[in-house]
Structure 1
Amino acid sequence: MQLSNSEEQLMQILWKQEKALMKDLIEAYPEPRPATTTVATLLKRMQDKKFVDYIQLGRSREYFALVKKKDYFSKQMNGMIKNFFNDSASQFASFFTKETNLSKEELEDLKKLIDKEIKSK
């Protein structure tokens, strides 16, 4: 299951806050902030998709994520590699390193990460 751009933006806020009331979520948006009804609709859709849930606190609801940020983005990246790069991590890495204008230092940092991962396998 995938999130729309507006749902993903709200999930980013929720991941950052971990638990939040509606007013906290709305205040975390940049101006112009969305209407309460808009955020409520997004939360309901995200709840139906099993991304968020809430606990009732009196008349308020405290929302929290059911999906970890790392898990969501890992799945998104794997899907992107599969769909756009013929399921080839090396094709993705080639595109990423050429098209993102990484500095020599950033490329060296990536190489260190890859070397470290190779040693751990």
Structure 2
Amino acid sequence: MEDLIPQEEQAMRVFWKVKKGIVRDILDQLPEPKPPYTTLASTIKSLEKKEYLGHKTYGKTHEYFVKILESEYKRKKFNNIIKDFFEGSVDNVLSFLVNEKKLTSKELEEVNKLIEKGGKL
């Protein structure tokens, strides 16, 4: 699974929400300032080339659909962050969050409960 650039991620967030659509449908869902239609169409073609999207053709219209689940993408992206910035260590991630005051003691308790339950809330 190839990494996505920011405008590809933005388009995929819409696709993950709506599951399928034509370029105009996706453009309508994007926040302002919206990219030009042709830019979005190029982005969608890139997503298809990277195999995040597939399409069905109806005459001259392509309806695009999701091929990679959002959860798969998040898992890969998070694992890459852990590997690239934290030497592959979840302990390093937690230490970073605590040291940066991003994780409160209450949240740490929740993490401990999650670990004790085998990762399920």
- What is residue 117 of structure 1 aligned with on the other side? 118
Question: Which amino acid in structure 1 is aligned with residue 46 of structure 2?
Answer: R
SS at match of 2:68: coil
- The whole-number CA distance in structure 1 between the counterparts of 2:29 and 2:39 is 14
Structure 1 stretch displaced more, 91-100 or 37-46: 91-100
1:95-116 CA-to-partner distances (Å, cap 9, x unmatched) read 1344253344433333322221
CA distance in 1, matches of 2:31, 2:10: 11
2:64 maps to amino acid:
Y
1:59 aligns with 2:74: no
Return the TM-score normalized by structure 2: 0.86
Instruction: Report the TM-score, using the length of structure 1 for normalisation.
Output: 0.86
State the one-letter code of the partner of 1:91: N
| Secondary structure, aligned partner of 1:34 | coil
Query: Larger % of helix: which?
Result: 1
Q: Percent identity?
A: 35
The more displaced of 2-11 and 90-99 is 90-99
Runs of 4+ aligned structure 1 residues displaced above 6 Å come to none
Per the alignment, residue 27 of structure 2 pairs with 26
Pair 114,92 (structure 1): closer, same or farther in 2 beyond 3 Å: same
Cα offsets for 1:32-68 (capped at 9, x unmatched) = 2111101111011111111111111233211111111
Which sections of structure 1, spanning at least 5 residues, go unmatched? none
Distance 1:117 1:100, change over 3 A: farther
User: What SS does the corresponding residue of 1:67 show, helix, strand or coil?
Assistant: coil
CA 1:69 to 1:97, structure 2 compared with 1: closer, same or farther past 3 Å? Answer: farther
1:2 to 2:3 alignment: yes
Moved more, 14-23 or 108-117: 108-117
